[in-house]
Chain A
Amino acid sequence: MTNLGCLDTLARQDSPIHRLDPRTKLLTTLVFIVMIVSFDKYQISAMLPFAVFPVVLIVLGNLPAGYLMKRVLWVAPFAMLVGIFNPLLDRQALLHIGTLEISGGWVSFASILIRFFLTVLAAFVLVATTGFNTICLSLEKIGVPNVFVMQLLFLYRYAFVLAEESSRMLRAWQLRAPLRKAMSMKTFSTVLGSLFLRTTGRAQRIYQAMCCRGFEGQLHPARRFHWRMADTVFLFGFCLLFAVFRFANPAVLLGKFVMGIFS
């Protein structure tokens, strides 16, 4: 969990991507996610070209690709859980590869995983090139109500508190139960209860510390946003590209083209 902070550390680099206005990156990523999510449930090939967006950002933004992939895999179980029953429920054959029949369930499962992979990767890349606090500020700039932005900011801040607090408690438990591999249900529930109380206490102290320094529900950016030509080009360039990918499946076009050459 403390590794989450690494994403924010990456955001402090200086690269063409980092220099872009946060709003540009936010809007482009939102368009990207909407496009991906809007594909129908058996679609696979049309989504693949979209990988260009995170890849370009990773390369230009000087981000460690391996590290980001690992982060994405961490969250992968959630997507697995969402799609795992598809192959069981949807058994109608949809694809034929030689004699092998692939059911619609497996196709939609794969589609879910790709969707998940692309959107989560894009979100991580956004954080790693922009920083979470800055994203929140630009959300506010583009008209998201302050209440939601604050909720998001605190959620992020307190996630670290929760993680720190729980890892400390886990260590304390491990040291006093060296022979046990897992917590008993009873211990677990007590630990969970006191974790809640401890984090609440700590969150309260942090909030007090913020109030002591004049916090009144507004967060101020450390630097002003500047919309430049590069931002317009980035935003419209990528949106155009997404539109092409979305409405004219380049994978199919390429396939037809190649087939055309050989026939």
Chain B
Amino acid sequence: MSHHIVQTRDLYFTYPDGTAGLAGVSFLITHGESVALVGANGAGKSTLLMHLNGCLLPTQGSVQVGDLPVTKKTTAAIRRSVGMVFQDSDDQLFMPTVFEDVAFGPMNLGLSDQEVEPVVTGALQRVDALHLKDRPPYKLSVGEKRRVAIAAVLAMSPDILVMDEPSSSLDPKTRRELIALLRTFEHTKIIATHDLDLAIQLCPRTIVLSEGKVLADGPTADIFADDNLLAQSRLEKPLSMQNCPRCSPNSSPN
């Protein structure tokens, strides 16, 4: 199944105010891969994600999803296969109830009432949030909102899941549950995150962005072992790869 590839070729993007967002990004992500996108604040992670489903169109270069290049004409088709989970769930949830919100996508795909019901129930069950279905989204906790936002995207049965900071502002337990949940998904996953431990657990491959360029692209374990690279891209070794200063007295605190 080669048609779920995501490929960018020499991608440039400049914001209308002149800020450079991306400055030549090229990579190829194949079907079923889980890729972490890491980098400092302002490195271009979110800008890049916005290109993957046509929310932003490149100033130069191209993005290809499956067989289609991302252009104004193809965005409708692209958005069917690329599901995007936003960083701030409040931006994503806008209908009066959770059920209606999750149904919003499938309804837009033209499903009938009878068809939508099981799809929504299934998606909510998948993220363990079926009990929330009649609640208004703005009254949920951050963790619940995140689950519902993911369900809303799953309900459209995308082939590729794109997530912007899925673990941000979650409590440790909720974060762990989210990681466990994401691990059960078989979609192609592209996850922009500062949570390098999450990256280790979910993504065998990591792309490091810095100032709008790809600084490194390779196996996650190798990249996180490279101290120079991490320092250069304003990152730190994930906690799980650091020697614990409390448990191992031999390690010298730096």
Chain A residues in 8 Å Cβ range of B100: 133, 222
In-complex Cβ contact of A213 among B50, B79, B136 (8 A): B79
Those of A210-239 within 8 Å (CB) of chain B = 210-216, 218, 220, 222-224
**Residue A131 interfacial (CB < 8 Å):** yes
Those of A104-161 within 8 Å (CB) of chain B = 131-133, 157, 160
Those of B150-188 within 8 Å (CB) of chain A = 152-153, 156
The reply to whether A215 and B88 form a contact with Cβ atoms under 8 Å apart is: no
Contact with A along B103-142 (1 / 0, CB 8 A): 1110111000100000000000000000000101010000
Contact A222/B103 with A213-B108, A213-B156 known, Cβ cut-off 8 Å: yes
The reply to whether A206 and B80 form a contact with Cβ atoms under 8 Å apart is: no
**Residue A256 interfacial (CB < 8 Å):** no
Those of A1-29 within 8 Å (CB) of chain B = 5, 8-9, 11-12
In-complex Cβ contact of A214 among B80, B86, B99, B113 (8 A): B80
Question: What is the CA–CA distance of A157 and B138 in the complex, to the nearest angstrom?
Answer: 12
Chain B residues in 8 Å Cβ range of A12: 96-97, 134
**Residue A209 interfacial (CB < 8 Å):** yes
CB-nearest residue of chain B relative to A205?
B91
The reply to whether A213 and B95 form a contact with Cβ atoms under 8 Å apart is: no
Chain B residues in 8 Å Cβ range of A215: 104, 108
Contact A220/B107 with A209-B91, A214-B76 known, Cβ cut-off 8 Å: yes
Contact with B along A29-64 (1 / 0, CB 8 A): 000000000000000000000000000000000000
Distance between A163 CB and nearest chain B CB, rounded to angstroms? 11
The reply to whether B95 and A209 form a contact with Cβ atoms under 8 Å apart is: no
Chain B residues in 8 Å Cβ range of A206: 91-92, 94
**Residue A92 interfacial (CB < 8 Å):** no
Interface band, chain A: 20 to 34
Distance between B253 CB and nearest chain A CB, rounded to angstroms? 36
Chain B residues in 8 Å Cβ range of A212: 53, 55, 79, 83-84
The reply to whether B95 and A133 form a contact with Cβ atoms under 8 Å apart is: yes
Chain A residues in 8 Å Cβ range of B109: 214
CB-nearest residue of chain B relative to A160?
B138
Chain B residues in 8 Å Cβ range of A157: 94
Chain B: residues with Cβ within 8 Å of the partner, total of 32
Q: Is the interface of A mostly helix, strand, loop or mixed?
A: helix
Chain A residues in 8 Å Cβ range of B80: 214
The reply to whether B156 and A5 form a contact with Cβ atoms under 8 Å apart is: no
Question: What is the CA–CA distance of A128 and B79 in the complex, to the nearest angstrom?
Answer: 35
Contact A210/B96 with A9-B136, A220-B108 known, Cβ cut-off 8 Å: no
Contact A218/B86 with A12-B97, A209-B92, A213-B153 known, Cβ cut-off 8 Å: no
Distance between A175 CB and nearest chain B CB, rounded to angstroms? 20
CB-nearest residue of chain A relative to B88?
A205
**Residue A167 interfacial (CB < 8 Å):** no
Question: What is the CA–CA distance of A7 and B103 in the complex, to the nearest angstrom?
Answer: 22
The reply to whether A213 and B152 form a contact with Cβ atoms under 8 Å apart is: yes
Q: What is A's interface to B at a CB cutoff of 8 Å?
A: 5, 8-9, 11-12, 131-133, 157, 160, 202, 205-206, 208-216, 218, 220, 222-224
Q: What is B's interface to A at a CB cutoff of 8 Å?
A: 50, 53, 55, 75-76, 79-80, 83-84, 86, 88, 91-92, 94-97, 99-100, 103-105, 107-109, 113, 134, 136, 138, 152-153, 156
Q: A133-B95, A209-B84, A213-B108 are in contact. List 9 more A-B contacts (CB 8 A).
A: A132-B96, A206-B92, A214-B79, A214-B109, A214-B156, A216-B108, A220-B107, A222-B99, A222-B100
Nearest 4 pairs of A and B residues by beta carbon: A214-B108, A220-B107, A213-B105, A205-B91
- 25 contacting pairs across A/B (C-beta < 8 A): A8-B96, A12-B96, A133-B96, A205-B88, A208-B50, A208-B55, A209-B91, A209-B92, A210-B94, A211-B75, A212-B53, A212-B55, A212-B84, A213-B104, A213-B152, A213-B156, A214-B79, A214-B80, A214-B156, A216-B108, A220-B107, A222-B99, A222-B103, A222-B107, A223-B113
